[in-house]
Amino acid sequence: MTKSSWPATNELHMLPVKMNSPPPFIYSFIFILLKSSSYDFIFFGAGCAGLSLLTRMLRTGKFNDKKILLVDREQKTKNDRTWCFWEKERGFFEDVVCKKWNTISFFSNDYSSTLPIQPYQYKMIRGIDFYKYCLDEIQRHPNVEIMYGHVNAWERKDLTITLKIDDKDMRLDDEDTVIFNSIYYSSSMGIKTIMLLQHFKGWLIETPSPSFNQEVATIMDFRVHQAHGTSFAYILPLDNNRALIEYTLMTKELLQPGEYDRELSDYLKNILGVKEYTITEQEFGSIPMTNEKFKFSGKGWQIGTAGGQTKASSGYTFQFIQKQSEKIVNCLISGNSLKEIKTAPGRFKFYDDTLLHILYHNSFRADKIFTDLFKKNRPQQVLRFLDNESSIIGELKIISSLPAWPFLKAAWHQL
């Protein structure tokens, strides 16, 4: 789920995502679009990363003279996911934030607390609101063309870009075209590569009587059993009668579909004491947590999860995508090479890989680790640390609060 390394120029780029073939008229539509024989920018994927970057580019007004192609396997008409993140100030996508909290809670069998997080706010964006917001902006720009179909492969060779959309080959002139790919695939799995999946099932529920404190978001509840591996729930209350309840795991394999529902039902009944409710929406997702190295080569750039923007130790992605998108836009406007974009200091990857090693080998229980993290540190320090924005002094304090021996062993493996 998170992996990638951009293959070298002249290699075939295989993108293993399956999709039912679209109706025949889509192919005609594709060929009409491709009367334009070249593009300045091509985006593969209209998910969080692709739409964030393209929307930011268009909002600057600096790319109105550029021909842009956006390719996605299907239209965005469903509320298929929810993004949560924290920030101190009004963000670029503040207009589509549907709920925000100044207070979070953490629960485990050993420690529970309600934690004010100012100056941070914990924010929630619904997928469908995000898609509509970005696509409304994109549709105001006639220089952007949208194509629907699955990108099975692409190749750059002899000043030509060849795309395989579903089962059709299409060729475009390659005139310094920049390709942004957010379709994740693995290409550099090595003997030391670790891969965990963070997978989750969510129910948006309504209750007949007030059941939630709408002022507090629960970001981790480890009171669920750990028989499957690292497991927790979180609660995002929209009001006192409605909340999104997510059951989340960090494991090597997915569960059977019915198991997520059973765990959600058990959590509501036996831990929250909520016995009467109506499920109004459901969502399911799975993202990779990996120590794989992500690289760039050629006239293209990996973005989003495909470009290493999913934090390996926690799965948080949205804000890292926004940071990467802002850097790319600034770089394009200044005319600098994308290769000049600075990444986070390497010590943060070391921290992530160390915790990932512990979770993967189950050498110490994750609920104990996160309990110590929130019990022994101010929440603002934890959030800064998870955002890769902490100082070395702050990091040393956090590291000293965690169980020493398992982290020393895992760190040795990373070194």
Kindly indicate the confidence band of residue 264, based on its pLDDT and cuts at 50, 70 and 90: very high
pLDDT at position 281, please?
97
Kindly indicate the confidence band of residue 183, based on its pLDDT and cuts at 50, 70 and 90: confident
- For 348-391, the pLDDT digits (tens) are 999 999 999 999 998 899 999 999 999 999 999 999 999 999 99
Instruction: Report, as an integer, the average pLDDT of 302-312.
Output: 90
Question: In this structure, how many other beta carbons lie within 10 angstroms of the beta carbon of residue 361?
Answer: 13
Q: Is 253 exposed, middle or buried (0-12, 13-18, 19+ CB in 10 A)?
A: exposed
Q: If you write DSSP's letter for every residue of 72-88 in order, what string do you get?
A: ESS---S---EEEEEES
pLDDT at position 198, please?
95
Q: Looking at beta carbons, which pairs linking 265-271 to residues 24 or more positions away fall under 8 Å?
A: 266/224, 267/221, 267/224, 267/233, 268/205, 271/221, 271/223, 271/224, 271/233
Residue 296 has pLDDT above 70, yes or no: no
Q: Among 314, 412, 328, which residue's Cα sits nearest to residue 85?
A: 314
> What is the Cβ-side half-sphere exposure of residue 97, based on CA atoms within 13 angstroms?
19
| Rounded-to-integer distance, Cα 331 and Cα 219, Å | 34
Residue ranges of the domains in the chain? 12-78+127-187+291-340, 195-289, 346-414
Q: Among 313, 308, 75, which residue's Cα sits nearest to residue 182?
A: 308
| Rounded-to-integer distance, Cα 234 and Cα 106, Å | 9
Kindly indicate the confidence band of residue 330, based on its pLDDT and cuts at 50, 70 and 90: very high
Residue 82 has pLDDT above 70, yes or no: yes
Q: In what order do the strands lie in the sheet with 82-87?
A: 82-87, 121-126, 97-101
- For 393-408, the pLDDT digits (tens) are 999 999 999 988 888 8
Beta-strand pair 41-44/178-181: parallel
| Rounded-to-integer distance, Cα 173 and Cα 106, Å | 54
Kindly indicate the confidence band of residue 105, based on its pLDDT and cuts at 50, 70 and 90: very high
In angstroms and rounded to an integer, the radius of gyration of the C-alpha atoms of the chain is 22
pLDDT at position 275, please?
96
Residue 36 has pLDDT above 70, yes or no: no
Type of residue at 354: T
pLDDT at position 295, please?
67
The length of the chain in residues reads 415
Instruction: Report, as an integer, the average pLDDT of 74-80.
Output: 92
Token reading at 85: 């993140």
Instruction: Report, as an integer, the average pLDDT of 305-312.
Output: 90
pLDDT at position 18, please?
35
Three-state secondary structure call for residue 269: helix
Residue 234 has pLDDT above 90, yes or no: yes
Kindly indicate the confidence band of residue 230, based on its pLDDT and cuts at 50, 70 and 90: very high
Q: If you write DSSP's letter for every residue of 80-130 in order, what string do you get?
A: --EEEEEESS--TTGGGEEEEESEEEEE-SS-EEEEE-TT-EEEEEEHHHH
Kindly indicate the confidence band of residue 254, based on its pLDDT and cuts at 50, 70 and 90: very high
| Rounded-to-integer distance, Cα 200 and Cα 284, Å | 6
Residue owning tokens 């795991």: 249
Is 12-78+127-187+291-340's fold the same as 195-289's? no
Kindly indicate the confidence band of residue 11, based on its pLDDT and cuts at 50, 70 and 90: very low
Token reading at 333: 């406007």
Q: Which residues pair with 243 in a beta bridge?
A: 205, 237
Q: Among 185, 134, 177, 171, which residue's Cα sits nearest to residue 6?
A: 185
pLDDT at position 158, please?
83
Instruction: Report, as an integer, the average pLDDT of 21-25.
Output: 43
Identify whether the C-beta of residue 407 lies closer than 8 Å to the C-beta of residue 363.
no
Rounded to 5 degrees, φ, ψ at 234 are -140, 155
Instruction: Report, as an integer, the average pLDDT of 201-215.
Output: 98
pLDDT at position 16, please?
36
Instruction: Report, as an integer, the average pLDDT of 192-218.
Output: 95
- % of the chain exceeding 70 in pLDDT: 89
| Rounded-to-integer distance, Cα 267 and Cα 393, Å | 38
- % of the chain exceeding 90 in pLDDT: 70
Distances in Å between the Cα of 74 and the Cα atoms of 46, 206, 296 are 9, 30, 27
pLDDT: which is higher, 25 or 249: 249
Kindly indicate the confidence band of residue 276, based on its pLDDT and cuts at 50, 70 and 90: very high
- For 169-179, the pLDDT digits (tens) are 888 888 789 99
Token reading at 316: 């948080």
Residue 292 has pLDDT above 80, yes or no: yes
Token reading at 299: 């006239």
Beta-strand pair 103-107/216-221: parallel
pLDDT at position 193, please?
85
Kindly indicate the confidence band of residue 331, based on its pLDDT and cuts at 50, 70 and 90: very high
The dihedral built from the CA positions of residue 61, 64, 67 and 70, taken in this order, carries a sign that is positive
CATH code linked to domain 195-289: 3.30.9.10
Assign domain 12-78+127-187+291-340 to its CATH superfamily.
Answer: FAD/NAD(P)-binding domain (3.50.50.60)
Question: In this structure, how many other beta carbons lie within 10 angstroms of the beta carbon of residue 210?
Answer: 10
Query: Chain-wide mean pLDDT for the chain?
Result: 88
Identify whether the C-beta of residue 215 lies closer than 8 Å to the C-beta of residue 202.
no
Number of H helices, E strands in the chain: 10, 19
